Structure 1
Amino acid sequence: MFGRSSKTLQEQQSETVLREPRDGAKNRPTPKRRDQEAANKRPLVVTDRKAAREVERTNRRQAQLKQREAMVTGDDANLPARDKGPVKRYVRDYVDARWNLGEFMLPVMLVVLALSFIRSPLVFAFVSMGVYALLLVAIVDGFLMWRRLKKRLVAKFGAGQTVRGLAMYAAMRSFQLRRSRMPRPQVKRGQYPS
């Protein structure tokens, strides 16, 4: 009546069994829309929020552990987005391969802090001039390092490669102590990337 077939479910199943499967065909009846929608339904709000929160917490913890492990081993697949990619790896390896004046800033500042307890104007003047001179030389060293590194990046990855933000990435890494750099250095001093 009104276009509905009067076949029962058994008759429909028996018809599908009698037909032999064809190559390239679906070989099964198309599921009803309401059955497909019912199978795909998921609640918008999880009924057991406590269990969902625990699952989310363990997933987040696993991702953090993978990321921390990648920071130590240098595994590019699990590094955070700011450190991913062959260009960033090249920058890290180049900075780690050279001696940078900026990495000596922290130990020098600790010495300056110790010398600041001496109440002599002459010592204070020499220490102040020395700190400013070291800072200026470290900045110039970082600038010259970036110019050399930029030439190497263009030679290796092409002129179309964007270098935006890489100067600050290289400078920040060069001003850190080698032992405290993350991701950890993967090359020895003098072992420049090719």
Structure 2
Amino acid sequence: MFRRTDKSEPTSAAAPAPGTTAKGTGAKGRPTPTRREAEAAARARARSATDSKEARKQQRARRAEESRKMRAGMKAGDERYLMARDKGPVKSFVRDFVDGRVSIAEFLLPLLLVTFLLQASGNDALVRFGGALWSTTILVVVLDTLWLVFRLKRALKARFPEENLRGTTFYAVLRALQVRPLRSPKAKVRIGGAPKV
């Protein structure tokens, strides 16, 4: 009934030990790299890290150069680098119109500082003089600005009859309030010069 097995029959090949493969590559399923291979891989990783650091450094240098060119272009009035509020022939005309005259408004900040010093002196005569100086300055600035706006609107309607002139008055007043050397874009016409179209 029971089949008798012959102990002399050849058995199957022994199974590989646990944790190894048939090729003896270890538990990772791949051969362990030699020292030379490991050192080459480490050198490649170090070179890659150095290259990426150098690439980041070059990228920062490129960005700094582009920013410098952009700032220089904005100061020079290059249309490619101007902000949207400064672009166009109308805004260029407004800038030249304002820069071609002496605006009392640009002296407002220095006169405010002088008035403050006079008020802080404690001398009654200087305090009164400072108050009168400030009141007179405000009145003159208002009159000068109204005259600027009136002349500018007339010039814009004559030069750009089909253009949208919205915002040009505010733009001109802000330009007139800035001290001439600090204006951006920089003034392209001298005082007394005619605006360029």
- Note whether the superposition's TM-score is higher than 0.5: yes
Note closer, same or farther for the CA distance 1:150–1:52 as it changes in structure 2 (3 Å cut): farther
**Structure with larger RCO (C-alpha < 8 A, sep 6+):** 1
Aligned mate of 1:103, from 106, 111, 120:
106
Residue by residue over 1:83-140, the C-alpha shift from the partner in whole angstroms, topping out at 9 and shown as x without a partner, is 1111110000010000111111122122223222311233212211221221121122
User: Does residue 172 of the first structure (1) align with residue 174 of the second (2)?
Assistant: yes
Contact 2:119 2:131 in 1 (8 A): no
Task: Return the alpha-carbon distance in structure 1 between the equivalents of residues 82 and 55 of structure 2.
Answer: 26
How far apart in 2 are the matches of 1:80 and 1:112?
Answer: 35
Q: Provide the rounded CA distance (Å) in 1 between the counterparts of 2:62 and 2:73.
A: 17
Q: Any residues of structure 2 matched to 1:86-97 within 5 Å, and which?
A: 86-97=89-100
Change in 2 beyond 3 A, CA 1:111/1:78? same
Q: Percentage identity across aligned positions?
A: 38
The residue number in structure 2 matching 1:138 is 141
Distance in 2 (alpha carbons) for counterparts of 1:87 and 1:193: 11
Structure with larger Rg: 2
Q: 1:127 to 1:63 in 2, by over 3 A?
A: same
Aligned residues: 145
Distance 1:61 1:136 in 2: 45
Q: Tell me the CA shift for residue 63 of structure 1.
A: 4.5
Return the TM-score normalized by structure 1: 0.65
CA distance in 2, matches of 1:157, 1:56: 44
Determine the structure 2 residue equivalent to 1:66: 69
Residues 97 and 192 in structure 1, CA contact (< 8 A), matched pair in contact too: yes
Shift of residue 52 of structure 1?
Answer: 10
**Residues 168 and 63 of structure 1: is their aligned pair in 2 closer, same or farther, counting only changes over 3 Å?**
farther
Match of 1:43 in 2: none
Q: Which runs of 5+ in 1 are unaligned?
A: 1-49
Q: What does residue 118 of structure 1 align with?
A: 121
- The answer to whether the aligner puts 1:77 opposite 2:83 as a matched pair is no
**Residues 132 and 59 of structure 1, relative CA distance in 2, 3 Å threshold:** farther
Query: Any stretches of 5+ residues in structure 2 without a counterpart?
Result: 1-52
Query: RMSD between aligned alpha carbons?
Result: 2.4
Q: CA–CA distance in 2 between the matches of 1:189 and 1:149?
A: 16
Contact 2:116 2:130 in 1 (8 A): no
- Give the AA of the match of 1:140: L
Matches within 5 A, 1:1-12: none
Whether 1:150 aligns to 2:153 is: yes
Partner-residue secondary structure (3-state), 1:155: helix
